[in-house]
Amino acid sequence: MIRAFRFSLIAALTSASICCSFTKASKLAESGVAEFHSQYNSGNFHEIYVQADEGFQKSGKEADFQTYLEAMRRKLGTVKEATRAATNINTTPSGTFVTLNYNVNFSEGKGSEQFVFRISGDKALLYSFNVNSPLLITR
């Protein structure tokens, strides 16, 4: 009986700990999106790149990333409103990754964004970013 109680207590505490850590990870990632949008709207593309995860930086050169964001801003404009559409959190041996999908109203039209952040301590580091909009093709 005592053994079953201990097991139940440990399971409950573990579940609460995971829930709290997932909540924390989600909030950190949401803050990361807000920071990204602020830096994007201000044209601080260098800051986005240097604050990103090492894995993000290894995936491409800073100059290419800046060119991408410049084209995005030229065609879509600035972010006016972003609404979270979905959240997914995965904990792997490589760390905790939070994927956030947003529906976005840009100054020139609509689109969707997907952010992947790797949680490192109390920071959400940009690991991947993707934007989709018909305006990227038609303009």
Blockwise average pLDDT, block size 10, the chain, 139 residues: 46 38 91 98 98 96 97 97 96 93 97 97 96 91
> What is the model's pLDDT at position 68?
96
- Give how far Cα 65 sits from Cα of 60, 70, 110, 129, Å: 7, 9, 21, 10
| pLDDT computed for residue 46 by the predictor | 98
| pTM, 2 dp | 0.84
As assigned by CATH, the class of the 2-138 domain is alpha beta
Look up residue 116 and give its two tokens: 């992947």
Which pLDDT score, from 0 to 100, does residue 138 have?
85
Identify any residues that bridge with 96 across adjacent strands, giving them in sequence order. 91, 119
CB 136 within 8 Å of CB 79: no
pLDDT at 2: 57
Instruction: State both tokens at 74.
Output: 């030229």
User: Residue 21's pLDDT is what?
Assistant: 83
Map out the domains of the chain as residue ranges. 2-138
